[in-house]
């Protein structure tokens, strides 16, 4: 029989549609799934032999889903700050990647990001980067869930010689890790300004053939739109629509510069949108029009982007920023409530990944990706509304324990799957090499 664990907490936030905060309840994990959510007294009677984890003044929430990141780029955190996107990319990031990115580099950077994610209550990383085998290994070793990408760009890098080579190597990784429970796979064209029509169509077909979501940067800057109008005669979204890419499989990242017709289009097509408030602010790209997106019914979710541009992979920061920015820009304090911001990082994000049947809420039968957040600290007191407290008060430093797939991967702030001193030692060694070689 599967191991049974009973988690008792002051509050449980199930994140099911219309659900309220539950007080003095328990969540029961059997094996990899949630077996029950019930009052604590009933749990004690029903599961007398289970392992008991009494969390006191904690709130249990579904594992947070970071819907867009570049995990390996944690090794480039802070390498080129205070620059515009294309300057940042062309003059700093791409040259460094060309010189340094390798299978081992990606593994170490991805492991570092997985450690940061788990300590911040993130149980799923939707990644976009090269060397997907390395990302897959890092995720499995860390015990974190990941969307691993078949990432494609039209020019050669140290990873691949061109689009067909990227696709072939990505498919090889997919076949090697297919069936690994912690991993999903995405067909991931980098962006409209780096990918041709022919490559977009190939990646759409790949998505359809293997049942993958697609993952692409779109409408990140005004320069991207101006360049598309000059080269193709249409804005990027219209180009992708003509190529058949805008549908419920597409996870469109950034989407800062949108007009009304484009918002209506993506709502009609069921396209998911990843809002990256901190990264877009830091790169001065702008702010996604979240109020209009919400009004249109677009499934808007949250991501951090990579540590080279954010520089934190902190979903608590993104949740709070999403709520505050929407209010400040529109002048409407009712725009993006605390509940909505939390949905963007949980149940909505699970839908974007095509995983809402298994993830994103604390429901019986779903996979046990569970996060315990302590509201015991004086900075978090008093607590009137535990859900709002998570958005406007608590931070990732208040995450105490994390379970992924029923496995406890963070226990009282300590990672159980990663040798942190060894990871940091290896990280510093790589960074020292990079500094010496620049």
Question: Does the pLDDT of residue 235 top 80, yes or no?
Answer: yes
Cα dihedral 88, 94, 96, 102 sign: positive
pLDDT value, residue 438 = 64
- Give the per-residue pLDDT at 2: 83
Nearest 5°: phi and psi at 130? -85, 175
Q: How far apart are CA 175 and CA 164, in angstroms?
A: 16
Whole-structure pTM value: 0.97
Q: Is pLDDT of 1 > 70? A: no
Distance, first Cα to last Cα, the chain: 56
Q: Give the residue-averaged pLDDT of 56-68.
A: 98
Task: Return the axis-axis angle of helices 163-177 and 132-142, rounded to nearest 10°.
Answer: 30
Mean pLDDT of 64-90: 93
Q: What is the pLDDT of residue 84?
A: 85
Long-range contacts of 259-264 (CB under 8 A, 24+ apart): 260/292, 262/219, 262/235, 262/237, 262/238, 263/289, 263/292, 263/293, 263/296, 263/298, 264/296
pLDDT at 65: 99
Distance CA 139, CA 33 (A): 19
Q: Which CATH superfamily, name and number, covers 4-62+360-405? A: Urease, subunit C, domain 1 (2.30.40.10)
pLDDT tens digits, 104-137: 999 999 999 999 999 999 999 999 999 999 999 9
Q: In what order do the strands lie in the sheet with 299-302?
A: 64-69, 122-127, 145-152, 183-189, 213-218, 250-254, 272-275, 299-302
Could you give the CA distance from residue 165 to residue 146 in angstroms, rounded to a whole number? 23
Please report which confidence band the pLDDT of residue 89 belongs to, taking 50, 70 and 90 as the band edges.
confident
The predicted pLDDT at position 85 comes to: 82
Residue 96 CA: distances (Å) to CA of 100, 208, 238: 6, 34, 33
Residue whose token pair is 């190939």: 202
For domain 64-352, give the fold. Answer: TIM Barrel (3.20.20)
Structure tokens at 156: 């050669």
Check: CB of residue 355 under 8 Å from CB of residue 340.
no
DSSP 367: B
What is the separation of C-alpha 295 from the centre of its chain, rounded to a whole number of angstroms? 23
List the structure tokens of 54. Answer: 């009494």
**Mean pLDDT confidence for 156-163:** 94
- Average pLDDT of span 190-210: 98
Point out which residues pair with 8 in neighbouring strands. 26, 54
Q: Is 410 helix (H, G, I), strand (E, B) or coil?
A: strand
Q: What are phi and psi of 121, to 5 degrees?
A: 80, 10
Averaged pLDDT score across all residues of the chain: 96
Domain ranges in the chain are: 4-62+360-405, 64-352
Can you give the pLDDT at residue 367?
Answer: 98
**Backbone dihedral angles phi then psi of residue 43, each to the nearest 5 degrees:** -65, -40
Cβ of 423: how many Cβ atoms within 10 Å? 17
Mean pLDDT of 38-57: 96
And the tokens for 6?
């009973």
């Amino acid at each position: 029989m599967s191991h049974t664990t009973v988690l008792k907490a002051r509050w449980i936030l199930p994140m099911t549609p219309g659900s309220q905060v539950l007080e003095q309840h328990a969540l029961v994990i059997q094996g990899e799934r949630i077996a029950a959510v019930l009052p604590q007294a009933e749990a004690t009677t029903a599961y007398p032999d289970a392992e008991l984890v009494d969390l006191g003044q904690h709130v249990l929430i579904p594992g947070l889903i970071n819907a867009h990141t570049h995990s390996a780029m944690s090794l480039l955190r802070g390498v080129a700050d205070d620059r515009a996107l294309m300057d940042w990319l062309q003059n700093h990031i791409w040259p460094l990647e060309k010189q340094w990115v390798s299978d081992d580099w990606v593994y170490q950077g991805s492991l570092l990001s997985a450690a940061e994610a788990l300590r911040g209550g993130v149980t799923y990383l939707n990644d976009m980067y090269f060397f997907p085998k390395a990302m897959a290994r890092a995720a499995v070793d860390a015990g974190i869930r990941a969307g691993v990408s078949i990432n494609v760009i039209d020019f050669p890098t140290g990873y691949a010689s061109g689009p067909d080579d990227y696709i072939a190597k990505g498919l090889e990784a997919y076949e090697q890790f297919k069936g690994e429970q912690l991993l999903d796979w995405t067909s991931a064209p980098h962006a409209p300004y780096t990918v041709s029509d022919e490559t977009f169509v190939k990646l759409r077909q790949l998505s359809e053939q293997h049942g993958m979501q697609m993952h692409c940067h779109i409408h990140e800057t005004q320069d991207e739109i101006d360049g598309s109008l000059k080269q193709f005669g249409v804005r990027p979204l219209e180009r992708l629509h003509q190529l058949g890419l805008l549908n419920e499989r597409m996870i469109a990242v950034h989407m800062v510069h949108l007009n009304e017709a484009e918002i209506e289009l993506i709502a009609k097509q069921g396209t998911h949108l990843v809002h990256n408030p901190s990264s877009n602010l830091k790169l001065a790209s702008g702010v996604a029009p979240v109020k209009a997106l919400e009004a249109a019914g677009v499934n808007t979710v949250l991501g951090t982007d990579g540590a080279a541009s954010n520089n934190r992979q902190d979903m608590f920061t993104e949740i709070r920023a999403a709520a505050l920015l929407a209010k400040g820009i529109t002048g409407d304090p009712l725009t993006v409530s605390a509940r909505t911001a939390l949905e963007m990082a949980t149940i909505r994000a699970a839908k974007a990944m095509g995983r809402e049947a298994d993830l994103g809420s604390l429901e019986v039968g779903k996979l046990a990706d569970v996060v315990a957040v302590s509201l015991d600290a004086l900075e978090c007191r008093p607590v009137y509304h535990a859900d709002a407290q998570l958005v406007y008060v608590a931070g990732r430093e208040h995450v105490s324990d994390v379970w992924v797939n029923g496995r406890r991967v963070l226990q009282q702030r300590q990672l159980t799957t990663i040798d942190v001193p060894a990871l940091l030692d290896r990280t510093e060694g790589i960074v020292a090499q990079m500094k010496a070689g620049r």
